[in-house]
């Protein structure tokens, strides 16, 4: 009988921890919904595809704060993704999560990195686009299936996007 009570106490503690994490996630999403404006939808006719890469959308964070994940409006969900570069911007199409558009004029930087929002890799295996949504600077990270595509992305976004 003592073992039953111990198991029940452990299960209750575990459920309490999960509930606390859920409440924290919701509180963070609520506070960020004021700070971060809604992401733009992909235009109905974005134009010709200049580059396309498949991989994993890792996260969007506040620019320069690689651990401060943006969780509002589904941006905190890691998912399989396809990134498509068009003349007007980057279409981020995510499976099971809302798609969004990064306008080319909003892009302020592009780089390879090894870390973003709890995901750390030994090499520069992430492609990170720094951009502005309203007045807020954001970093959006992508782990591509083909790392050899990154130099093309960086070159295209630096030349035509004005990125640093």
**Domain boundaries of the chain, sorted by first residue:** 1-35, 49-161
Successive 10-residue mean pLDDT values, the chain, 164 residues: 90 94 82 80 89 92 88 84 93 90 93 86 87 91 90 83 51
Backbone torsions φ then ψ of 64, nearest 5 degrees: 80, -5
What pLDDT sits at residue 89?
93
Out of 2.30.29.30, 3.40.640.10, 3.40.630.20, 2.60.120.10, select the CATH number for domain 49-161: 2.30.29.30
What pLDDT sits at residue 128?
93
Residue with tokens 């971060």: 36
For residue 38, give the DSSP letter: P
What pLDDT sits at residue 163?
53
Contact between residue 119 and residue 58 where contact means Cβ atoms under 8 Å apart: yes
92: how many CB neighbours lie within 10 A of its CB? 23
Cβ-count burial of 138 within 10 angstroms (0-12 exposed, 13-18 middle, 19+ buried)?
buried
């Amino acid at each position: 009988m003592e073992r039953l009570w111990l198991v029940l106490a452990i299960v209750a503690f575990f459920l309490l921890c999960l509930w606390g994490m859920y409440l924290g996630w919701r509180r963070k999403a609520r506070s960020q919904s004021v700070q971060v404006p809604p992401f733009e939808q992909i235009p109905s006719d974005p134009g010709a595809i200049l580059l396309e890469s498949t991989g994993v959308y890792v996260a969007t964070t506040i620019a320069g704060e690689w651990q401060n994940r943006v969780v509002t409006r589904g941006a905190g969900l890691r998912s399989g993704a396809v990134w498509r570069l068009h003349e007007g911007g980057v279409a981020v199409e995510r499976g099971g999560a809302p798609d969004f558009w990064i306008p080319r004029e909003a892009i302020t930087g592009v780089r390879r990195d090894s870390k973003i929002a709890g995901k750390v890799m030994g090499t520069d295996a992430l492609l990170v686009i720094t951009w502005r949504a309203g007045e807020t600077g954001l970093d959006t990270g992508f782990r591509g299936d083909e790392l050899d595509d990154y130099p093309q992305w960086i070159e295209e976004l630096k030349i035509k996007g004005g990125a640093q």
